[in-house]
Amino acid sequence: MEDEKSEYLLTEDKASRLSISSVSSYSSIFEPISNTSLALFLGYTVKQPVTLIMKQIGLCHISPRHRLTISYASPSEGPGETLFEVAEEQKHEIVFRTTSGEEVMRIRKNAHNFTQNHEYAGVSPSGEVKWSANIMRKMLAATKYGFTVHPDQHTSQPLEYRDKVHGRDKGLLLDERLLAIYKDRSVWSLKRKPHVVKIAPGMDMLVALGMAFVRYDKLRDDANTAAVTAAVS
Asked whether the beta carbons of 144 and 150 are under 8 A apart, the reply is: no
Quick one: average pLDDT of 190-217?
A: 88
For residue 1, being part of any structural domain is answered with no
Alpha-carbon Rg for the chain, nearest whole angstrom, is 17
User: In the prediction, which pLDDT does 194 show?
Assistant: 79
Q: Is the pLDDT higher at 224 or at 40?
A: 40
CATH number of the domain that 118 lies in? Answer: 3.20.90
- Least-confidence region, from 26-35, 55-64, 93-102, 111-120: 55-64
Quick one: average pLDDT of 187-202?
A: 74
User: In the prediction, which pLDDT does 143 show?
Assistant: 85
Residues making up the chain, counted from first to last: 233
pLDDT at 142 over 90: no
Helix (H, G, I), strand (E, B) or coil at 118: coil
Count: domains in the chain: 1
Quick one: average pLDDT of 149-158?
A: 92
Quick one: average pLDDT of 201-212?
A: 96
Quick one: average pLDDT of 107-112?
A: 91
pLDDT at 7 over 50: no
- Euclidean distance between CA atoms 69 and 186, whole angstroms: 19
Over the stretch 20-66, which tens digit does the pLDDT of each residue have? Answer: 344 445 556 788 787 778 999 999 999 989 999 998 887 655 556 88
Percentage of the chain modeled with pLDDT above 90: 48
Report the number of secondary-structure helices (H) and strands (E) in the chain. Answer: 2, 12
* pLDDT class of 113 with cuts at 50, 70, 90: confident
For residue 101, being part of any structural domain is answered with yes
149: burial class by Cβ within 10 Å (0-12, 13-18, 19+)? buried
* pLDDT class of 192 with cuts at 50, 70, 90: low
For residue 43, being part of any structural domain is answered with yes
Q: Is the pLDDT higher at 80 or at 147?
A: 147
Q: Is the pLDDT higher at 167 or at 150?
A: 150
For residue 183, being part of any structural domain is answered with yes
* pLDDT class of 178 with cuts at 50, 70, 90: very high
Burial 116-125 (b: 16+ CB within 10 A, else e): eebebbbbbe
Range(s) of the domain holding residue 51: 6-232
Burial 41-66 (b: 16+ CB within 10 A, else e): bebbbbebbbbbbbbbeeebeeeeeb
User: In the prediction, which pLDDT does 128 show?
Assistant: 96
For residue 170, being part of any structural domain is answered with yes
User: In the prediction, which pLDDT does 191 show?
Assistant: 53
User: In the prediction, which pLDDT does 98 show?
Assistant: 98
